[in-house]
C-alpha cells in the first residue's frame, strides 16, 4: 500500500530543520519510518505565509496569497511511503514529533 | 409458528452458528468482502436443497465453507483479475462431500478485529460486525437501529470500501496493539447489547447476538480477562430484564420483583465473573460486572452491600473516568453513607456542567430529595428530568413519582 502522510500543525512552533535534525524524537521517527516502510518521497513545506494559490474560474486565472483553505492546522510536510498496511502507517504517524502537538493525516495514494 | 422441519432447523442453526466463520474464512482466502458475503449466502441457499436430499452433513460448518469456497472459485474463474486469488483457493479446494478432518482455524477473530478497526467510523464498526459476524440482514440491522435500509446499506458499502482502499489489515493485532484494539471490540459488543436492552423484539435480538459474540470472544481469547468481564456483565443485566418494566413502565430497583430475575443466568454470570477476577487483570468491564453481581445476588434493596458498590464505582471512575460513573457512585454513597453525602456529590456534578442535558442527573437528584422528604425541591427536579427524558418507560415512571409526591 502507498500512503501520503500529511504532517500538520498550526505553525505556532515551526522548529528549524537544524532543530528537527537534533531532536531525538525525530531520530526515532526516522528509524520507525525506515523499519516499517520504503520512503518514495518526502518534502518539508515552507509556512503557509509563503504559499500561493491558483484557481481558474470561467477561463480566468485567479492568483491569491495564502493556502487553499483557511484552517487552524495546515500541511507542513508530505511523506510518501510504501508499507504493508494501515497499521504500519499508523505506527509511523504516531512516532512523528508533530503528532504530539499537531496531527498526521494518512491518505492512501490513488493508484 | 416455528418451523419444525428438522432440515430447516439444522440450516437455521448452522446459519446462526456458522455464518460468521464461513464469511471470515472466505474473506481470509479472497480478500473480497462482498464476494465472501455473496458466496456464503449462496452456500446456505445450496444447503436448503442439498441437505433434504443428502442428509445433514456431519460437520455443517465444513460443508458450508467448502460450498462457499467452490462458488468463489467459480466466480473468480470468470474474472481475469481473479487469477492470483484462484491459486490461493486451489490450495484449499476440497470436495464438499469430504470435509477436511483437521479443525478449520477460526478466522472470526481476524474478522471482528478488522470490523472494529479504529479507522472506521463507530456506527460502521457496529453495522459491519453485525452483518459479517452474525449474519443479520442489512434490513434487520437498519430496523434495529431505527433507520432505513438504504442508509444502512450505504454505511456498510462505505466501510467495506475503506477497508480495501485504506489498506486496513485483516488480522488479529500484534501484542503491542492488542489491549487497545480489544477495548474497541468490547465497546462495539457492549453498544450492540445496550441497543438491545429494550422491550422491543427487533431490538432484543441485538442483545442476544451481542451475548453470543461475547461468548465466542471468551472462547477465542481465553487468556484475556476483560472479554469474560463483558460476558458476565451482559449475563447479569440480561438476568434482571424480567423485573425491569411492568406494563411498559420502568420499575425502580427497590420495587423490582426479584423472583422474576433469572437465577440460572445470575449464577452463570457470577461464575464467569469469578473466572475473570481470578486472572488478576482488572478492567472496567469486570468492575461493572462486579457491581451488577452485587445487585443481582442481594435478596433485597436493604441487604445490598452499598459500601462495596460505592468502592467499586470509585474503582471504575479510576479505570474509566466518566461523569455517568460519578453519578452512579453518588447514588451508592447516598445508600451507604446517607442521603446528604450522596446529594453533595450530585450537586458537585451538577455545578461542573459535565452532565448538562442528561435526564438521569435531575432524576437522581429528585429521587434523593424525595427520600430526604424535601418535597418541593424534589418536584422541581422531577419536572426538570421530565423535559429531558428519552424513553417512554422512564417518562411514565417519572410522572408517576411526581404525582405521588
Q: Which domain holds residue B396?
A: 357-405
In a domain, B365, yes or no: yes
| Fold that domain A2-108 belongs to in CATH | Alpha-Beta Plaits (3.30.70)
User: What does the DSSP 8-state code read for residue A101?
Assistant: T
In a domain, B241, yes or no: no
pLDDT in tens, B142-153: 988 889 999 999
Optimal mutation site among A85, A91, A104, interface B, most CBs of chain B within 10 A: A85
Domain termination residue (choose one: B73, B105, B137): B105
- CB contact under 8 Å between A86 and B166, yes or no, is yes
CA distance B137 to B147: 13
pTM of the prediction?
A: 0.88
Element (H, E) at A98: none
Query: In terms of Cα–Cα distance, which of B20, B18, B49 is closest to B37?
Result: B20
Is A92's Cβ below 8 Å from some Cβ in B?
A: no
In a domain, B273, yes or no: no
Q: How far is CA B282 from the centre of its chain?
A: 20
Chain B residues whose C-beta sits inside 8 Å of any chain A C-beta: 117, 119, 165-169, 173, 177
A86 neighbourhood in chain B, CB within 8 Å: 117, 119, 166-169
Query: In terms of Cα–Cα distance, which of B365, B396, B397 is closest to B380?
Result: B365
Complex-level ipTM: 0.91
Domain locations in chain A as residue ranges = 2-108
Quick one: three-class SS letters along B348-367? HHHHHCCCCCCCHHHHHHHH
Measure Cα distances from B14 to B18, B54, B257 in Å.
Answer: 5, 16, 37
In a domain, B93, yes or no: yes
Of residues A3, A84, A87, nearest to B177 (C-beta): A87
pLDDT at position B98, please?
43
pLDDT in tens, A47-93: 999 999 999 999 999 999 988 888 899 999 999 999 999 999 999 99
- CB contact under 8 Å between A85 and B173, yes or no, is no
pLDDT at position B101, please?
38
Domain termination residue (choose one: B88, B105, B122): B105
In a domain, B202, yes or no: no
pLDDT at position B146, please?
84
Element (H, E) at A56: strand A52-57
- Count: domains in chain B: 2
Cα dihedral value B386, B390, B396, B400, nearest 10: -30
Min distance A95 CA to chain B CA atoms (Å): 14
CA distance B251 to B145: 25
B166 neighbourhood in chain A, CB within 8 Å: 86, 106, 108
pLDDT at position B296, please?
95
Domain termination residue (choose one: B71, B105, B139): B105
Amino acid at each position: 500500500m502507498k500512503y501520503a502522510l500529511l504532517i500538520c500543525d498550526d505553525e505556532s512552533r515551526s522548529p528549524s530543520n537544524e532543530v528537527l535534525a537534533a531532536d531525538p524524537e525525530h531520530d526515532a521517527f526516522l528509524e520507525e519510518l525506515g523499519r516499517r516502510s520504503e520512503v518514495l518521497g518526502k518534502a518539508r513545506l515552507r509556512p503557509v505565509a509563503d504559499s500561493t494559490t491558483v484557481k481558474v474560474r470561467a477561463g480566468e486565472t485567479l492568483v491569491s496569497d495564502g493556502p487553499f483553505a483557511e484552517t487552524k492546522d495546515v500541511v507542513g510536510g508530505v511523506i510518501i511511503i510504501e508499507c504493508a498496511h494501515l497499521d504500519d502507517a499508523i505506527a509511523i504517524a504516531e512516532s512523528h514529533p508533530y503528532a504530539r502537538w499537531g496531527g498526521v493525516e494518512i491518505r492512501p495514494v490513488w493508484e | 409458528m416455528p418451523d419444525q422441519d428438522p432440515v430447516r432447523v439444522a440450516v437455521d442453526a448452522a446459519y446462526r452458528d456458522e455464518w460468521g466463520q464461513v464469511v471470515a474464512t472466505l474473506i481470509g482466502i479472497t480478500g473480497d468482502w462482498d464476494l465472501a458475503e455473496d458466496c456464503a449466502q449462496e452456500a446456505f441457499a445450496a444447503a436448503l436443497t442439498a441437505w433434504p436430499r443428502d442428509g445433514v452433513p456431519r460437520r455443517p460448518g465444513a460443508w458450508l465453507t467448502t460450498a462457499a469456497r467452490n462458488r468463489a472459485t467459480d466466480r473468480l474463474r470468470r474474472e481475469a483479475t481473479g487469477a492470483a486469488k484462484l491459486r490461493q483457493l486451489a490450495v484449499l479446494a476440497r470436495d464438499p462431500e469430504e470435509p477436511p478432518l483437521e479443525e478449520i482455524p477460526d478466522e472470526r477473530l481476524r474478522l471482528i478485529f478488522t470490523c472494529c478497526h479504529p479507522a472506521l467510523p463507530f456506527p460502521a464498526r457496529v453495522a459491519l460486525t453485525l452483518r459479517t459476524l452474525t449474519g443479520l440482514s442489512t434490513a434487520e440491522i437498519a430496523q434495529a437501529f431505527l433507520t432505513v435500509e438504504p442508509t444502512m446499506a450505504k454505511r456498510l458499502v462505505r466501510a467495506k470500501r475503506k477497508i480495501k482502499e485504506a489498506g486496513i489489515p485483516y488480522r488479529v493485532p500484534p501484542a503491542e496493539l492488542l489491549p487497545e484494539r480489544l477495548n474497541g471490540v468490547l465497546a462495539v459488543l457492549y453498544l450492540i447489547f445496550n441497543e438491545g436492552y429494550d422491550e422491543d423484539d427487533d431490538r432484543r435480538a441485538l442483545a442476544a447476538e451481542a451475548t453470543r459474540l461475547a461468548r465466542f470472544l471468551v472462547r477465542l481469547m481465553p487468556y484475556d480477562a476483560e472479554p469474560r468481564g463483558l460476558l458476565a456483565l451482559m449475563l447479569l443485566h440480561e438476568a434482571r430484564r424480567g423485573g425491569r418494566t411492568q406494563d411498559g413502565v420502568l420499575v425502580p430497583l427497590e420495587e423490582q420483583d426479584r423472583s422474576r430475575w433469572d437465577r440460572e443466568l445470575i449464577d452463570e454470570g457470577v461464575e464467569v465473573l469469578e473466572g475473570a477476577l481470578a486472572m488478576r487483570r482488572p478492567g472496567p468491564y469486570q468492575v461493572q460486572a462486579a457491581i451488577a453481581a452485587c445487585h443481582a445476588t442481594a435478596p433485597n434493596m436493604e441487604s445490598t452491600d452499598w459500601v462495596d458498590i460505592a468502592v467499586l464505582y470509585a474503582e471504575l471512575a479510576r479505570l474509566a473516568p466518566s461523569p455517568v460513573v460519578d453519578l452512579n457512585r453518588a447514588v451508592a454513597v447516598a445508600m451507604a453513607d446517607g442521603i446528604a453525602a450522596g446529594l453533595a456529590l450530585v450537586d458537585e456534578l451538577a455545578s461542573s456542567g459535565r452532565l448538562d442535558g442528561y435526564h438521569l442527573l435531575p432524576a437522581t437528584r429528585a429521587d434523593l430529595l424525595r427520600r430526604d422528604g424535601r418535597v418541593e425541591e424534589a418536584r422541581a427536579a422531577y419536572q426538570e428530568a421530565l423535559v429531558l427524558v428519552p424513553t417512554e418507560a422512564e417518562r411514565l415512571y417519572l410522572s408517576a413519582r411526581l404525582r405521588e409526591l
